[in-house]
Amino acid sequence: MKMNAYVAGVGMTPFGKHLDKTLKALAGQAITAALRDAGLQAGDLQAAWMGNAAAGVTVGQEMIRGQVALRELGIGRIPVVNVENACASSSTALQQACAMVTAGLYDVVLACGSEKLFHEDKLRSMGAFSSAVDVEDPRGALKVLEEMARAAGESFDATGAGEKRSVFMDIYSLMAKKHMKRYGSTKEHFAMVTAKNSFHGSMNPRAQFRDEMTVQQVLDARTIIEPLTLPMCSPIGDGAAAVVLVSERKARELGLRNPVRILASALVSGWDFEREGESVGALAAQQAYEAAGLGPRDLSCVELHDASAPSEIVAYEYLGLCAEGEGKSLIESGATRLGGRIPVNTSGGLLRKGHPVGATGCAQIVELTEQLQGRSGQRQVEGARIALAHNGGGAIGLDAAATVVTILSREG
């Protein structure tokens, strides 16, 4: 969808383990920071879209997560919509907020995502991920994966899924094996992704992991499920991120310095794409490029959904950063590293900045807004003008159940 909304302010908490903070406290911290960044007051907000994915499972809070968080900040009366789309929850919130502002229905709105995944009972954290697949499928997610593996001639051992690891790592394992077989990518290529993102994350004070890792260190780490070692999997995390959006009219009135505009945002829901040779990511990217009137060559930087290291390589291809099958060459070339042709995940990505699922979509917009405004410090992409965010969530088969691709530009 073609959009025309301005990012007036962004804010986020550090991502990590926040056992001492409630879900609403995390959201409140991000929203307060975003309002301050925008130079606006809580009372200026006309509507809010609040993304969260798992609080029903992790803390028992369903239904009114947004109202509960906003009330702490003195925000009431306005329309509040609680939005879910798994790991794409807050990019969905942003897409909805953006559409409403573009349509002229509001001048100042909030999109926010928050999540608390850490739980003293680790099974509860893992259960949160299992709630992002079709729980009513009588075969169960693992049975579906087994069938898919068999059809693809792959070995598949579900031992430990949903307990020792999120069921998503089983999905990524199969996806990675498929890519390795078809395009010759290797475990080394996946390790290169983590190494690169760890370099980026080492410069991000809000990242969950700040240590830089070599390719060898990534390869030597404990195996979660072949071909994934621990640092090739995004971690469990807590955190929140918020974006204040304004209309073009309001942006002028506020006299925004370094305005960042959202040009397009496409929300596409999952389908049995893997059976039809399509992908939800490719479809969302295609819609977003078309709406924005530009293509992958125009991008200065990208935040993409590296929930696993192979996910990043596969996404290079369907986002059009390289041709199909060339993802491995792109990571090898260094083009996606800071200083390269098209830096990817300068924040550290989900792998290193962290992945509190409902917060991830808005956190990508925080990173890209700061990049486009030239305030990313050590990890600044010089002269960044156009940026793309890609956020996928949930699973239908091996593909995402929801994907949002958003394109932003620096104006003036």
112 is catalytic: no
d(C-alpha 9, C-alpha 39), whole Å? 8
Pick one of 33, 224, 314, 401: the residue that binds a second copy (CB under 8 A): 401
Q: Are 328 and 313 in contact (CB under 8 A)?
A: yes
Choice between 134 and 326, CB closer to a second copy? 134
Q: With b meaning 16 or more CB within 10 Å and e meaning fewer, what string describes 346-355?
A: bbbbbbbbbb
Map residue 196 onto helix, strand or coil. helix
CA-to-CA dists, residue 301 to 181, 336, 341, 345, angstroms? 29, 9, 9, 8
390 is catalytic: no
CB of 346 to a second copy, least distance (A): 27
Q: Does 29 bind a second copy (CB under 8 A)?
A: no
Catalytic residue among 119, 179, 305, 355: 355
Interface with a second copy: number of residues (CB under 8 A): 63
d(C-alpha 226, C-alpha 331), whole Å? 20
Choice between 62 and 290, CB closer to a second copy? 62
Residue 227: is the preceding peptide bond cis (ω within 30°)?
yes
Pick one of 82, 234, 311, 347: the residue that binds a second copy (CB under 8 A): 82
Q: Given the rule CB under 8 A, which of 191-199, 327-335, 374-382, 388-396 is the region that contacts a second copy?
A: 388-396
Q: Given the rule CB under 8 A, which of 84-92, 107-115, 223-231, 235-243 is the region that contacts a second copy?
A: 84-92
- The strand pairing partners of 387, in sequence order, are 301, 408
Q: Does 373 bind a second copy (CB under 8 A)?
A: no
Pick one of 36, 41, 43, 103: the residue that binds a second copy (CB under 8 A): 103
Helix spans in 334-403 (H) = 349-352, 357-372
Map residue 158 onto helix, strand or coil. coil
Q: Given the rule CB under 8 A, which of 10-18, 29-37, 62-70, 381-389 is the region that contacts a second copy?
A: 62-70
d(C-alpha 160, C-alpha 166), whole Å? 9
Q: Does 42 bind a second copy (CB under 8 A)?
A: no
Catalytic residue among 18, 87, 112, 305: 87
Choice between 106 and 199, CB closer to a second copy? 106
d(C-alpha 248, C-alpha 174), whole Å? 45
Comparing CA positions, the residue from 358, 89, 61, 365 lying closest to residue 239 is: 358
Angle made by CA atoms 78, 84, 88, in degrees to the nearest 5:
115
Q: Does 84 bind a second copy (CB under 8 A)?
A: yes
| Interface of this chain with a second copy, residues 268 to 287, rule: CB under 8 A | 268-273, 283
Q: Which two tokens stand for residue 223?
A: 């195996």
Angle made by CA atoms 143, 140, 397, in degrees to the nearest 5:
70
Comparing CA positions, the residue from 1, 9, 20 lying closest to residue 246 is: 9
Q: Does 60 bind a second copy (CB under 8 A)?
A: yes
Q: Does 99 bind a second copy (CB under 8 A)?
A: yes
Pick one of 97, 112, 133, 254: the residue that binds a second copy (CB under 8 A): 133
Q: Does 19 bind a second copy (CB under 8 A)?
A: no
Choice between 71 and 210, CB closer to a second copy? 71
Q: Are 230 and 15 in contact (CB under 8 A)?
A: no
Choice between 120 and 136, CB closer to a second copy? 136
* Contacting positions for a second copy (CB under 8 A): 1, 22-24, 53-57, 59-68, 70-71, 76-86, 89, 92, 95-96, 99-100, 103-105, 127-128, 130-136, 267-273, 283, 393-394, 396, 401-402
Active-site positions?
Answer: 87, 355
